[in-house]
Amino acid sequence: MADDSRKPDWKPRTAEVLRDQVKAYDAMRARCPVAWSDYQHWTLFRHGDVMRVLEDHQTFSSAVSSHLSVPNGMDPPEHTPYRQVVEPYFSHQAMEKFEPTCRRIARNLVGNLPDGQPFDVVEQFSRAFALQIQCAFMGWPASLHEPLRDWVLKNHRATLAGDRDAMAEVAREFDGYIHDLLEFRRKAGANAPRDVTTSLMEEAVNGQLMTDKELTSLLRNWTVGELGTISSSVSILLNYLSRHPDLRQSLTNDPDALPDAIDEILRMDAPLMSNRRVTTREVEIGGRTIPAGEKITLLWASANRDEEVFGDPDAFCPRKNRDQNLLYGAGIHVCPGAPLARMELRVLMEEFLSAVDTLKPAPAEQPERAVFPTGGFNYLPMIVTK
């Protein structure tokens, strides 16, 4: 087990690090690319080291949590049948079917943005889009928008504080939402809505229908991932484009370039900061010996800026960097929902760019960056004209 009395190589929660996390991670990647801290345990900063972990699931297990985590926290062979159940929900055909709904939500939100007046991108746009799009995809009622919004904020505060009691209470609250959604469909029987949630209830794993515990874990992972990363992604994209008006105009003129451009902007400024693994044996990595049973933080926010792979990490080179971009991970745990996230962000940006003439930071108001474990912004004041 970890020896928490060892001397830390860095302190990820200091004011200096939190003031500019990207700068701090860039510095650590050069100074101490495999680093120990009480907060993140072993942190890997380099692209090559992270790739090694992603490709060796026998040495670096995803079963980090003591709680059931479907399928994120599973290793093969347990992981495989759940993954096979999940992937069809993000097929090309499924994305084509959902895109018109996504576009309607995006167009409505863009249309309701205040014209020429400061507004908070996070509160009025990115978080609203994430909530509406997730509920629409899952077949959940609009009445869940506000409860889920409050739940996301409570979950974030509990996670940031490391308050285990609060985190457990937040988990129980989410379980209650899922219980009600499942019970509603069971009582409706043949009249239950034919949506993603109902379909998942009918999925068999190893010849057995998934239990409510498995369904709740799966839906919690989908929801946390979707609401957090989509909202963060939208705020990052608008912040970047507001500071690069030539690129914004170029993408307005050539929306076919949006998919690669979105992935590249999110490579430079990570919406999802990290993932975790645990060692199954003693292993040497980056010149450090890590014992068995140690937790490892894969810091996407650093690995995706590694100069050894990308050169100048802030240079916008979408085609050059496409194949090495770890935005959606790699290996057997590469994000199954990547096609959905890419479609949602592309459609939202198409609608935004086609409707908005100018985008700029609101004067005299300072944005507030989110801090680890969350990417993007807590507050992002902008002005658009249409």
What's the average pLDDT block by block, 10 residues per block, for the chain (386 residues)?
Answer: 70 95 97 96 98 96 91 94 96 97 98 96 96 96 91 81 82 90 95 96 95 93 88 98 97 97 98 97 96 98 98 97 97 95 98 97 93 93 97
Q: Which pairs count as long-range contacts for 275-284, CB under 8 Å and 24+ apart, including other chains?
A: 275/300, 275/329, 275/333, 276/64, 277/53, 277/60, 277/61, 277/62, 277/64, 278/60, 278/61, 278/63, 278/64, 279/59, 279/60, 279/61, 280/58, 280/59, 280/60, 280/61, 281/59, 283/59, 283/60
User: Do 200 and 218 meet the contact criterion of CB atoms below 8 Å apart?
Assistant: yes
Strand, coil or helix: 364: coil
pLDDT at 386: 94
**pTM of the predicted model, to two decimals?**
0.95
Residues recorded for the chain: 386
Name residues whose C-beta falls within 8 Å of residue 82's C-beta, 6 or more positions apart in sequence.
70, 71, 74, 205, 214, 218
Report the relative pairing of strands 41-44 and 295-299 from DSSP bridges: parallel
pLDDT at 2: 45
Dist. CA 47–CA 56, nearest whole Å: 14
User: Do 325 and 269 meet the contact criterion of CB atoms below 8 Å apart?
Assistant: no
Among candidate residues 128, 212, 126, the one with its CA nearest the CA of residue 174: 212
Burial, 256: exposed, middle or buried (Cβ in 10 Å; 0-12, 13-18, 19+)?
A: exposed
What single letter denotes the amino acid at residue 128?
A
Domains of the chain: 15-385 (1.10.630.10)
Dist. CA 315–CA 321, nearest whole Å: 10
pLDDT at 105: 98
